[in-house]
Amino acid sequence: MTLLHEYYIPGLHIEEHSIPVPLDWSGKVPGDYSRASGDSLSLFYRVLSAPEHAHDTKLPLLVYLQGGPGGAGPRPIDPSDDGWIAEAIKHFRVILPDQRGTGRSSHVNAQIMARFERPEDQAAHLKHFLADSIVRDFEHLRRTEFDAAPWVTLGQSYGGFLTLTYLSLFPQGLVASFTCGGIPHVPADAREVYEHTFPRMAAKTRQYYARYPQDRARVAAVADRLEHAGGDDATLLTQPMLPVLPMLPNGDPLSVERLQTLGGSFGMKPSFERVHWIFDGAFLDSDGEPSNESAPSSEFLTAVESATASNPLYWPLQEFIYADGELEQPIGWAAQQVRDEHPEFGTEQRPLLFTGEAMFPWMFEQERALRPFRAAMDVLMADTHFGTIYDAAQLARNEVPLQSAVYFDDMYVDSGLQLDTLSRIGRSHYWVTNEFEHDGLHGDTVFRRLYGEALDRGDLAGVFL
């Protein structure tokens, strides 16, 4: 095990490591790989433990499967910074990998995409950063750096998707699994996901306006100004005095479509309050009440940019996390297909409805961080050949204890679809609650409850031998 750094932060002992993994796992077996056998990536990971357990290798292992896609592992400030960590380090050594392409694991962004001359090569590269490769990286890590000891997984959001891939491909590597807001529907279907989530986006918007009715006028005033600004080249030639779209600090235009994506936070607490305070500071003139004539304040533009920015792989991979093996038809911008069937989400509609975790073609035109991905997206959207991520038969005969938190009102991962999948997974148990939003794990309650239930049921008997 190659140690890069070892240090303490308040309440935690941390080790940092990195190992090589193949870019392409085709024809290769986790646990049997050397850098000389082809193009490789770096897989970076941290090992966390309570200070009193530093170097205690007798503790069982828990590997955290980060949400996303494209999300790096947590960078904790202290154990309570991410609530589940404080509980986990009482019982485990905690492994925090940066999934390939994220954080310090051969990070992928627009600069990397610009190195490829052909869109087909960009698309082929991106396909190596999906669940089938991510899980093989983790299994390789387990076999080579941790003496092949079976470990426990904790999956948040997309980490739950990775959990089912792990249970499908390498169940022998797991002794128990936990998931929070992250059981995908099997069989996977991107369009089905958005057919369920767009009505919830509309419902969440109505709840927001009911909680803060004054924001109806504020949002409408901003949207009206944006709706009547800009225009295509032909419009600008005939109406040269048309106002231009305000620019965000990074140079991206603020369009109505981007404004609508502020609803992406409605699935997290304190979602409504966060958006409310953004619009509270939208206007420069008078006492800040809505005005179609007043330009959006610079503070408002900064807040919108911050709230709608994402990591470089989040949107490019968003719909392809539902691509499982050979597809009957291309994904073809599934969220946009469903949105087109819901005219109430039109940019001209008032009150303006917000969108959530959904990817649209305009993002790869308006956002400079995503423009280098656009040509590759067109290739991928027409593709039907992807790696296998789920084995329904293996999941049905699963013997690894699986304990899941299902959030009844989850805006991102439909609770009904989660429960349908869980009903067809062996040794699965679930706790359904509406006390938390999608990010419930990050408090101090959810993991402690899941852990306690699994312990009381005897599902962790194989962990603490």
- Alpha-carbon distance of 40 to 24, in angstroms, equals 8
Per-residue confidence in pLDDT tens, the chain, 465 aa: 589 999 999 999 999 999 999 999 999 999 988 765 679 999 999 999 999 999 999 999 999 999 999 999 999 999 999 999 999 999 999 999 999 999 999 999 999 999 999 999 999 999 999 999 999 999 999 999 999 999 999 999 999 999 999 999 999 999 999 999 999 999 999 999 999 999 999 999 999 999 999 999 999 999 999 988 855 444 434 444 445 789 999 999 999 999 999 999 999 989 899 999 999 999 987 788 887 677 889 999 999 999 999 889 999 999 999 999 999 999 999 999 999 999 999 999 999 999 989 999 999 999 999 999 999 999 999 999 999 999 999 999 999 999 999 999 999 999 999 999 999 999 999 999 999 999 999 999 999 999 999 999 999 998 986
Q: Report the run of H or E that residue 61 belongs to, with start and end.
A: strand 61-65
- Alpha-carbon distance of 398 to 411, in angstroms, equals 28
- Alpha carbon separation from 124 to 118, 119, 128, 347, 376 (Å, rounded): 10, 9, 7, 34, 8
How many residues are there in the chain? 465
- Alpha-carbon distance of 335 to 23, in angstroms, equals 29
Answer for the pair 138, 166: CB distance below 8 angstroms, yes or no: yes
Type of residue found at 97 = P
- Alpha carbon separation from 433 to 78, 404, 429, 437 (Å, rounded): 27, 11, 13, 9
Res 235: pLDDT: 43
Q: Which residue matches tokens 């330009």? A: 295
Res 1: pLDDT: 59
- Alpha-carbon distance of 221 to 274, in angstroms, equals 19
Res 239: pLDDT: 44
CA 15 to chain centre: 25
3-state DSSP assignment of residue 418: helix
Q: Does pTM top 0.85 for this prediction?
A: yes
End-to-end CA distance of the chain: 24
Q: Are strands 40-49 and 3-9 parallel, antiparallel or unpaired?
A: unpaired
Res 294: pLDDT: 76
Q: Are strands 12-22 and 3-9 parallel, antiparallel or unpaired?
A: antiparallel
Res 237: pLDDT: 40
Ordered DSSP codes for 194-233: HHHHHHHHHHHHHHHHHH-THHHHHHHHHHHHHHTS---H
Q: Which domains does the chain have, with CATH numbers?
A: 3-188+389-457 (3.40.50.1820), 192-381 (no CATH)
- Alpha carbon separation from 128 to 269, 275, 359, 375, 392 (Å, rounded): 33, 35, 20, 17, 22
